[in-house]
A and B are shown apart, each in its own frame.
Chain A
Amino acid sequence: MSDAPSDVGELTITRTFEARPEVVFECMTTPAHLTHFWGPTGVSTPLANITVEPRPGGRFETVMVNDETGEEYPMRGVFVDFDPPRTLSFTEADVAGGMTTSITFNDLGDGRTETVTHQTNVPLMLMSAEAQAGLETSFVKMDAYLASL
């Protein structure tokens, strides 16, 4: 038996934006744009806290700041792929044992862009997917237990 992760969970978020891929990609990779939306709600990301080195191997780092408490949430990512305006991916070595986030920008051809954001190495995601599919009843029980906590 190996202790290496044998299977890992995934998270996929699909969104459609009213802008061309070039514009959406630029927004996702330019500090002056990122500062307006990197957020999330109740959290700001000052321009000075954003580093983007737009190339594979380049840094993608942000420090988000809680608007109320001033608490800081650093993200230290490294670009794996940087292929405007089609795809970008970055890894965060210090999250969950090394999480990778990939974003694909699909040109819908009518001025809109569909982004597919895919995160790998999120083990618990797999658990809940299995439970939903009823593949392993033990996980249904575990979910019930977790819900009762």
Chain B
Amino acid sequence: MPVAADPLSLTFAALADPTRRAILARLAEGEATVNELAEPFAISLQAVSRHLKVLEGAGLISRGRDAQYRPCHFEPAPLEAATAWIVRNRQIWTDRFDQLEQHLKRITNDKTKENQT
């Protein structure tokens, strides 16, 4: 499947998990270490690290170079792209149905005319 190569799919997959969304929400307030991120969750440091790997793979966070603490930073660009996609997707369907409405008016008018002649 070529799905994994698509950055938007990576973003959506990363965001599909509630723990990862909560981690991102925390990081949106400022950088944090793995220990700080693990605190509010009833899960192991290893589990948090796995979540961070997924987020990092999707480009949603970056890690500091400090070998001991490696603080995590929120990277908003993929989220902006995902949000833009959602806004556009909704707009496409709204436009589409607006145009379908007009199209239905045209074809039902044509049929009425046919029936009259």
- Which residues does chain B contribute within 8 Å of A97, judged by CB atoms? 3, 9, 12-13, 16
Report the number of A-B residue pairs with Cβ-Cβ less than 8 Å.
Answer: 131
Give the size range of B's interface with the partner: 35 or more
CB-CB contacts below 8 Å: B1-29 with A: 1-3, 6, 8-9, 12-13, 15-19, 21-22, 24-26, 28-29
B108 touches A139 (CB 8 A): no
Q: Could you write out 19 A-B pairs with CB less than 8 Å apart? A: A3-B13, A3-B17, A6-B18, A8-B16, A13-B94, A17-B101, A18-B104, A27-B100, A36-B106, A37-B102, A40-B91, A41-B99, A96-B9, A97-B3, A121-B16, A123-B15, A136-B22, A138-B26, A149-B80
Q: A3-B50, A13-B94, A23-B108 are in contact. List 10 more A-B contacts (CB 8 A).
A: A19-B104, A27-B104, A28-B100, A36-B103, A39-B99, A40-B91, A40-B96, A123-B15, A125-B86, A127-B15
